[in-house]
């Protein structure tokens, strides 16, 4: 279970973007969080993925309260999450080939040698063939780069996936394709999902349930 308990967070303590928010996702379940652009739902996604320290409240991951944020989060908690953001170009190191990009989290946890065994299959799973994975971000399209970012999010086999507007820039077919990869992974590994977005039709089709930002925050 992933729980946000009474979380207050933002970038200015005097004016938090959310106050006292509770959100619970059962193990293996998926929740779609809907809200207009710029409302602060990305901040919530970052808090849930231990990437942003809340001003108050708790994040509890499978019964364990979060014990740190960003690189100070303990490894077993940090690696419980795979995160995909809206803009692949902002989250991909332009110097890395897609192969190295996908392997990045393995390297970060000292498991680089596993990359050779894991990355090709994972790349194929997100639809990236041999000819593409040797390229660097500027040599591929946004859609292809987002496929690589999704593979990167899956490479440590996380128990939780956080997808923040993962498909907002993508065409219908690439969107359907990435969502199918996520759902296939979840079916295999029983992972839970928080999908944040503004497209009601998409999130209702994708997730077990949806909740609206205004209902979470009481329209703050």
Partner 1 sequence: MKPVLSVQGLSVRFRMRGGSHVSAVTDVSFDLAAGECLALVGESGCGKSVLASALLGLLPENAETAGSALLGGLDLLTADERTLARSVRGRRVGLVPQSPAAHLTPVRTVRSQLEESLRELAGVRKPALRAAAEQAAERAAFPAGHLDRYPHELSGGLAQRAATALALIGDAPLLLADEPTTGLDRDLVDRTVDELRRHVGDDRALLLITHDLAAAERIADRVAVMYASRVVELTDAPAFFGAPGPRHPYARGLLDALPEREFTPIPGMPPELTALPAGCAFAARCDRADEACAALPGLVAGAACHHPHVNVLESPRA
Q: Which is nearer to partner 1, 79 or 97 (CB)?
A: 97
Asked if residue 27 lies in contact with residue 14, where contact means CB atoms within 8 angstroms, the answer is: no
Would you count residue 89 as binding partner 1 (CB under 8 A)? no
Return the exposure string of 4-43: e unless at least 16 CB atoms fall within 10 Å of the residue's CB, then b. bbebbbbeeeeebbbbebebebeebbbbbbbbeeebbbbb
3-state secondary structure 52-80: CCCCEEEEEECCEECCCCHHHCCHHHHCC
Q: How many Cβ atoms sit within 10 Å of the Cβ of residue 108?
A: 14
Q: Which of residues 48-77 bind partner 1 (CB under 8 A)?
A: none
- x-marked contacts with partner 1 along 13-32 as a string, rule CB under 8 A: --------------------
Q: Smallest gap, in angstroms, from Cβ of residue 43 to partner 1? A: 16
Would you count residue 170 as binding partner 1 (CB under 8 A)? yes
Would you count residue 215 as binding partner 1 (CB under 8 A)? no
Q: Which of residues 190-209 bind partner 1 (CB under 8 A)?
A: 198-202, 204-206
Would you count residue 136 as binding partner 1 (CB under 8 A)? no
- Rg of the Cα atoms in the chain: 17
Q: Which is nearer to partner 1, 52 or 198 (CB)?
A: 198
Give the C-alpha separation, 53 to 43, whole Å. 10
Identify which of 209, 202, 213 has the alpha carbon closest to the alpha carbon of residue 29: 209
If you ran DSSP here, which 8-state letter would residue 38 be given?
T
Give the C-alpha separation, 192 to 55, whole Å. 25
Q: Smallest gap, in angstroms, from Cβ of residue 176 to partner 1? A: 4
Q: Smallest gap, in angstroms, from Cβ of residue 220 to partner 1? A: 16
Segment contacting partner 1 by CB under 8 A, of 6-14, 18-26, 34-42, 93-101: 34-42
If you ran DSSP here, which 8-state letter would residue 66 be given?
P
Instruction: Please identify which residue in the block is written with the tokens 């190295």.
Output: 100
Would you count residue 40 as binding partner 1 (CB under 8 A)? no
Would you count residue 35 as binding partner 1 (CB under 8 A)? yes
Q: Which is nearer to partner 1, 60 or 169 (CB)?
A: 169
Paired tokens of 218? 């009481």
Would you count residue 114 as binding partner 1 (CB under 8 A)? no
Would you count residue 42 as binding partner 1 (CB under 8 A)? no
Interacting residue ranges for partner 1, rule: CB under 8 A: 35-38, 86, 127, 141-144, 165, 168-177, 179-180, 198-202, 204-206
């Amino acid at each position: 279970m992933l729980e946000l308990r009474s979380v207050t967070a933002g970038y200015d303590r005097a004016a938090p973007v959310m106050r006292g928010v509770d959100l619970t996702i059962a193990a293996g379940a998926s929740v779609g969080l809907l809200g207009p652009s710029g409302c602060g739902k990305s901040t919530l996604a970052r808090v849930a993925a231990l990437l942003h320290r809340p001003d108050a409240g708790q994040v509890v991951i499978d019964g364990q309260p979060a014990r740190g944020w960003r690189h100070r989060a303990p490894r077993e908690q940090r690696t419980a999450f795979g995160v995909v953001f809206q803009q692949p170009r902002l989250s991909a190191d332009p110097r890395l080939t897609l192969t190295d990009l996908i392997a990045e989290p393995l390297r970060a946890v000292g498991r680089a040698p596993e990359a050779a065994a894991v990355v090709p299959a994972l790349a194929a799973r997100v639809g990236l063939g041999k000819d593409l994975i040797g390229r660097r971000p500027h040599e591929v399209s946004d859609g292809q780069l987002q496929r690589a970012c999704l593979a990167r999010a899956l490479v440590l086999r996380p128990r939780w996936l956080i997808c923040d507007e993962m498909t907002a820039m993508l065409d219908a077919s690439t969107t359907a394709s990435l969502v199918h990869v996520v759902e296939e992974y979840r079916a295999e590994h029983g992972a839970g999902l928080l999908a944040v977005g503004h497209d009601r039709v998409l999130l209702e089709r994708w997730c077990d349930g949806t909740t609206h930002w205004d209902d979470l925050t009481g329209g703050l």
